[in-house]
Amino acid sequence: EADIYQTPRYLVIGTGKKITLECSQTMGHDKMYWYQQDPGMELHLIHYSYGVNSTEKGDLSSESTVSRIRTEHFPLTLESARPSHTSQYLCASSTPTGAGRVAFFGQGTRLTVV
Amino acid sequence: GESVGLHLPTLSVQEGDNSIINCAYSNSASDYFIWYKQESGKGPQFIIDIRSNMDKRQGQRVTVLLNKTVKHLSLQIAATQPGDSAVYFCAENHPNNTDKLIFGTGTRLQVFP
C-alpha cells in the first residue's frame, strides 16, 4: 500500500483565483510527478522532480508551477485558475525496482474552475 | 514519436469469464512495462510489471504477455469479477529516461452479471 496523499480531493473555484494542490508522500521516494487526466482519458505528465530543489516540465505544457523544498512534499500551484484548467490532477512518486521505476499514485484532486 | 496505445476503449465481459486487455507500443527500445488499474475516483494502482527479457509473468488471477516482435502486450484477468471493473492502463518506462512513464489511453473494463 503506497502512502501518498493529495488534498483536497475535490475543489470548485472561481476564475482568477490562486490555488495550490497539495501532495505528500511518506515513503522517502526521491522522484515525484504530477499528471493531468481528463475523465476516461490518458494521463499526461505536466511536472516532475528528481529530488529537493529539482523541478522539470513534463510532456504536456501547463500553466501550473511546482516546488520541491522537502523530499516528501510536491505542491502544484495555479496563479490564476481558468475553466480550461478543469481536470483531474494526479500526484505520484516512484521508486526503482530491479527493472525500472514503478510509480505510486495518490487519489487525485478533481478541480473544477467556474 | 514514441507512444503507447490501447486497441479498444471499452471491454464488456460476463462475470466469471476471462478478460484480455491489449496494448501496443511503438518504441522497440522500451524495456519495462507496467499495468495499472484505475477505479472510478481513484488514482492508478500498480497491478503487474514485466521486463523485456520476459515473455510472460503471472500474478494473482492476472497474467501479462509480452510479444516484442509485434510490440504488443496484453493483460489477462482470469475469472473476472465485478471488482475488476475499472480502467486499465499500460505504461512504458521511457527508454531514454527511466524516470518517466508513458501511459496509453486506457481500456475500460465493464463486468456484467
Which residue of A43, A60, A89, A105 to mutate against B (max B Cβ within 10 Å)? A43
Number of domains in chain B: 1
Looking up residue B84, the CATH number of its domain turns out to be 2.60.40.10
Report which residue type is found at B30: S
The Cα–Cα gap between A91 and A5 comes to 8
Determine, yes or no, domain membership for A82. Answer: yes
Question: In the prediction, which pLDDT does B1 show?
Answer: 39
| Residue-number span of the structural domain to which A20 is assigned | 4-90
Residue A111 lies in a domain: no
A2, pLDDT greater than 70: no
Beta bridge partners, B50, equal: B33
| Structural domains in chain A (count) | 1
Separation in Å, CA B71 to CA A45, B22, B84, B96: 23, 11, 25, 17
**Cβ proximity of B102 and B5 under 8 Å:** no
CA distance A81 to chain B (A): 22
For chain B, the straight-line distance linking the first and the last C-alpha, in angstroms and rounded, comes to 41
Residues 6+ apart with CB under 8 A from B112: B12, B13, B14, B15
Q: How is residue A21 annotated by DSSP?
A: E
Domain assignment present for A35: yes
pLDDT at residue number A51 = 94
Contact A55, A76 (CB under 8 A): no
What tens digit of pLDDT does each residue of B81-94 get? 999 999 999 998 87
CATH label of the domain that carries residue A33 = 2.60.40.10
Q: How many CB atoms lie within 10 A of CB A83?
A: 9
Which amino acid makes up residue B109?
L
Look at residue B4 and tell me whether its pLDDT is greater than 70: no
Domain span including residue B20 = 4-112
Per-residue pLDDT of B5-25, as tens digits, reads: 544 489 999 999 999 999 998
Q: Residue B99 and residue A48: Cβ atoms within 8 Å?
A: yes
